[in-house]
Amino acid sequence: MSARYFLFLLLYIVSLSCHAQTVLCDVSGIEAPYSPVNGSFTGKQVPHSPDPLVAFRWNNPEWTDSLQVYVLAPVSVEADKSENVSVVDAANLRVDGPCELMFDFGRVSAAWFEFESADLDGEVEMSISEFNEPAVFNVGSQHPRKTASPVRHGNTWRLELNDQLYEGVRFAWIHIHSLNKPARISSVRLVCQVKPVNYEGSFACSDTLLSRIWYTGAYTVKLNLLQNYFGAILMERSDRHSWTGDAHTSQAASMVAFGNYDFVKQNLRYTSTQYNGIASYSLYWVLSLIDYYMYTGDKALLDEMLENACQKLDIAYHHYDKDPVIAFYGWDERLGGFESPTAEAKHAYRMLSIQAWNKFASILDHAGYEELATRYQRYAREKIDSLRMNPDWTDKLGVHAAADAINAGFANREEQRRLLSKALSDRMQRLSYSPFNQYFIIQSLAEIQEYDKALATIDDCWGGQIRYGGTTFFEVFRPSWNTISRPNDAPVNNQCGYTSLTHPWSAGVTKWLSEEILGVRPTSPGFATFIIKPHLSAGVTWAKGTVPTPNGNIVVSFDLKSGEYLFTVPANTTADIAIPKGGYKINKVTLDHKRIASIGKDEDFIYCRGISPGEHRMKVHHSGKMSPSVDEPFVYENETFREDIETKGNWRNKYGKQGYILCSYDSLSDRTRLPDFIRDVKFSRNGNTHWITSTTDIRALESDKEESGRNLGAAHTRDPLVCLQTMTIDLSGEKDRAYQLALYFVDWDRKGRRSAIEVFNLETKKLIMPVYMVREYQGGKYIVFNVDQPVRIRINQVRGDNAALSGLFFD
């Protein structure tokens, strides 16, 4: 039951383009389930943050605080029929006839959409989306089509799509299908919900994109903080509940950005008995407990959760040698998603088990549980020794399992070198489809000191999402989306279903930047001791920021070029400082104007240990030149697609000389003649339809026989069923046999289909080509490319009722 609140608040917000945006919340009588925000703009404005409340401060927020609301006005409005619209500003208009009004609010918010009008009289609908077209989601959602007639509350017109009201909203529409008289529309707005939380952490560096990435990750998590737990998705698509593994990365980002340790503690309790049927999620929960303990020193929670954590680790031990059933490990093709988890997923789960045993043993030893620590050390040692009975054990691991093996902490230098060479050296192939899994990959690159590679990967994954227009991070992403789509276009839907563009499982990079580039991490629980070890280079020459701890904030500012280092050590803590060489020869170091001798050094750092609480200034005198950064190529095996819109259904004289498949050509039966180099073709997860028999429509395919009529059918994705926005076609056959493949698409019933093609090696499931977008294929369109190996073709729905493929032709 909602309460009526009166909001009289002027929020001054700096937009992403750094232009001042005034957002008026002076809307009397607004209906909202929560009270208005009750803090003030006394924090620091951050131009690289997408959060309109980045400078907003609450007074001592706690996890028990209720959600609150604020109001955001649009930054722009567009009308399809400008002659019917008079614009005062983006939030206030006069309409004189039918039109489509599209509003951009500048960033995604957790919000609902509404406006004021006393005299609007006509047929009206409203829509919302995270991207620049009205969103559509799967069955099971309360309202799969994010378009509906508004609900009126007096003069307020509101789009109500679910019981909680909020969705992920950046773009919104008012569709005026008919209008009986001119009308005024005013106070167009999003009513945004927010969990009170302050930015206690901060991050900035010489690469402003990294700064944007840090704040975008933080904002993605903040938008999903709910009343009693960490949420996992903004859009209501039937899975908007707690996901235990997803929370591992979002809690990690939350601790460095907000220091909201009480809420992380609550969420650990909340998720302690949940694992969503996913074995690895139990282990991520244990790793989250370890993170929390190291950041807070809260031994009471460790004691409370000890039995629970041990049960999870013991189950992993019993699973290890029994070919464990892995329901899910990530959306990447090499892992199999929920569709068909692969051997790689099982290898990765085993490496994750060793990591969890090793790390939990370490904190148990510190906490005085020596017997339990010995148990988990024994588990790890037993399985490591078993692995090494095969000297080539690293060869079977792909990028995800290799990353988990490195993160487990047992691989020696030679094993690390082999894992890097086989699984992590190729810039394109070390990208995971899931930014969640990408976090563990960049962790592993840091572990083996491959920071240039880690930064390149961060740019490809998270930087690519920002270049796509993202103000939050996505559920899945491929860099090639930026070459086939404009910023903020509808994303590719896929095995995860309809793609979420606000998914906090993708926020782990925020913690990584604080720990690896700013360089602050605890070395004993609660930051009683900690290290500042910034990884600066020609790519990132300075970094500064804040990390919240139970004893106060650690404040850091390090500049590699100038050698000026400032840092604060909180009371009751002790710091070690690692001074990066960056290629320079270090001649002298002063601390608080006194020359000091280093206590240790290695190839990349000089160490000063045991620095006491206080504000400190360090000056590094160096000579020589900074080491250059190493650029890596980003290469696909094949990048060439071409389109043919001329041939249409007249394929016989141009395509299919070696073989063909005419999908559902005879009722629901295919007509097939496979070439001798193709052993088998397997369609998966598709539906079939036969559109027409014996037509003269040139879009339909001519017969492979001497028949006058044309037929047309299709294999298609099974939208809007859950996770069936994709289908695969496996072409198995001879290796190293080159041939041309032409795929024929027809949007027969002109439903505005837009589809995406992905091509993988059938055996390794490695991506071998960039994603290709098939647009406007109502007239019939061939997509033609060459392959020289067995392949999996994945066809994904983007827009329209489904993705539809009518033929494959081999030449």
Which one-letter amino acid corresponds to residue 136? V
680 and 614 part of one domain: no
Return the pLDDT at 1.
Answer: 31
Distance CA 402, CA 424 (A): 8
Q: How far out from the chain centre does Cα 88 lie?
A: 37
281 exposure class (CB count in 10 Å sphere: 0-12, 13-18, 19+): buried
Percentage of residues in the chain having pLDDT higher than 70 = 96
Total residues belonging to the chain? 811
- Supply the pLDDT for residue 624: 95
Instruction: For residues 626-633, give the mean pLDDT.
Output: 92
**For the chain, percent of residues with pLDDT exceeding 90:** 93
Maximum CA extent, the chain: 95
Q: Transcribe 68-95 into DSSP letters.
A: EEEEE--SEEEES-GGGEEEEETTEEEE
> What pLDDT score was predicted for residue 31?
82
| 3-class secondary structure, 341 | coil
The Cα 676–Cα 734 span in angstroms is 9
* Amino acid identity, position 289: L
Three-state secondary structure string covering 202-226: EEEECCHHHHHHHHHHHHHHHHCEC
Identify the domain boundary among 591, 623, 655.
Answer: 623
The CA dihedral of 26, 27, 33, 34, to the nearest 10 degrees, is 10
Give the model's pLDDT for residue 38: 93
pLDDT computed for residue 12 by the predictor: 35
Q: Where are the alpha helices (DSSP H) in 575-696?
A: none
Residues 408-436, mean pLDDT to the nearest whole number: 98
Please determine, for residue 554, whether its predicted confidence score (pLDDT) is greater than 70. yes
Q: Kindly report, residue by residue over 683-704, the tens digit of the pLDDT.
A: 999 999 999 999 999 999 999 9
Which two tokens mark 733? 């056959």
Q: What CATH number is associated with residue 580?
A: 2.60.420.10
Q: In whole angstroms, give the CA distance from residue 764 to residue 127.
A: 42
CB contact at 8 A, 188 and 76 = no
175 CA to centre of own chain: 31
> What 8-state DSSP symbol labels residue 67?
P
User: Rounded to the nearest 5°, which phi and psi values hold at 629?
Assistant: -75, 155
Asked if residue 387 and residue 310 are part of one domain, the reply reads: yes
Bridge partners (DSSP) of residue 642 are 784
771 assigned to some structural domain: yes
Cross-strand bridge partners of residue 618: 565, 591
Q: How many domains does the chain have?
A: 4
Residue 562: left if φ>0, alpha if ψ -120 to 50, beta else—which one?
Answer: alpha
| 252 lies in the same domain as 354 | yes
Mean pLDDT of 363-371: 97
572 and 713 assigned to the same domain: no
542-549 and 202-205 strand pairing: antiparallel
Domain contains 765: yes
Strands 687-695 and 669-673: unpaired
Q: pLDDT tens for residues 644-657?
A: 999 999 999 999 99
**What mean pLDDT is predicted for residues 514-533?**
99
- Residues 4-53 have pLDDT tens digits of 333 333 333 333 333 344 444 444 567 889 999 999 999 999 999 999 99
Collect all residues with Cβ–Cβ distance below 8 Å to 802 and sequence separation of at least 6.
Answer: 687, 716, 717, 718, 719, 725, 753
Contacts of 133 (CB under 8 A, 6+ apart): 171, 489, 490, 799
Query: For the chain, how many helices (H) and strands (E)?
Result: 14, 41
Beta bridge partners of 270: none
Within-domain flag for 632: no
The CATH number given to whatever domain includes residue 767 is: 2.60.120
Task: Measure the CA–CA gap between 710 and 650, rounded to whole angstroms.
Answer: 10
CB 755 within 8 A of CB 797: yes
**Tokens matching residue 32:** 């909202």
pLDDT at 598: 66
In-domain check, residue 630:
no
Residues 784 and 697 in one domain: yes
Task: Scan for tokens 């340790």, then name that residue.
Answer: 261
Q: Are residues 8 and 154 in the same domain?
A: yes
Q: Which of 590, 623, 656 is the C-terminal boundary of a domain?
A: 623
> 296-305, 472-481, 586-595: lowest mean pLDDT where?
586-595
Tokens 């926020």 appear where? 507
* Shared-domain flag, residues 735 and 752: yes
> Do residues 667 and 610 share a domain?
no
Tell me which residue of 429, 494, 342 sits closest to 633, measured CA to CA. Answer: 429
Task: Give the CB-side neighbour count of residue 695, counting CA atoms within 13 A.
Answer: 16
Beta strand pairing status for 202-205 and 772-774? unpaired
What is the average pLDDT across 705-711?
92
Q: Quick one: average pLDDT of 391-396?
A: 97
Rg (Cα) of the chain, in Å, rounded? 28
Beta bridge mates, 739: 787
- 209 and 185 together in one domain: no
User: Is position 550 within any domain?
Assistant: yes
Convert the pLDDT of each residue in 740-785 to its tens digit: 999 999 999 999 999 999 999 999 999 999 999 999 999 999 999 9
Residues 729 and 773 in one domain: yes
Which candidate, 301, 308, 300, 299, places its Cα nearest to that of 266? 301
- The neighbour count for residue 504, using CB atoms within 10 Å, is 33
Instruction: Tell which of 194, 220, 242 closes a domain.
Output: 194
Q: What is the CATH number of the domain that holds 264?
A: 1.50.10.10
Instruction: Give the residue from 50, 110, 105 showing the smallest Cα distance to 78.
Output: 105
Contact 561, 626 (CB under 8 A): yes
Question: How do 701-702 and 92-95 pair as beta strands?
Answer: unpaired
pLDDT value, residue 251: 98
In a domain, residue 123? The reply is yes
216 and 148 inside one domain: no
CB 145 within 8 A of CB 138: no
CB atoms within 10 A of CB 108: 25
pLDDT at site 7: 32
Q: Of the candidates 758, 138, 787, 207, which has an alpha carbon nearest to the alpha carbon of residue 478?
A: 758
Structural domain includes residue 532: no
Which of 795, 809, 799 is closest to 686 using CA atoms?
795
CA atoms within 13 A on the CB side of 403: 23
Does residue 454 form part of some domain?
Answer: yes
Per residue in 139-192, pLDDT tens?
999 999 999 999 999 999 999 999 999 999 999 999 999 999 999 999 999 999
pLDDT band per the 50, 70, 90 thresholds, residue 382: very high
Burial 744-761 (b: 16+ CB within 10 A, else e): bbbbbeeeebbbbbbbbb
Confidence at residue 707, expressed as pLDDT on a 0 to 100 scale: 87
Tell me, yes or no, whether 370 and 455 share the same domain. Answer: yes
Average pLDDT of the chain to the nearest whole number = 95
pLDDT per residue over 283-305, tens digit each? 999 999 999 999 999 999 999 99
What range defines the domain where residue 730 resides? 642-810
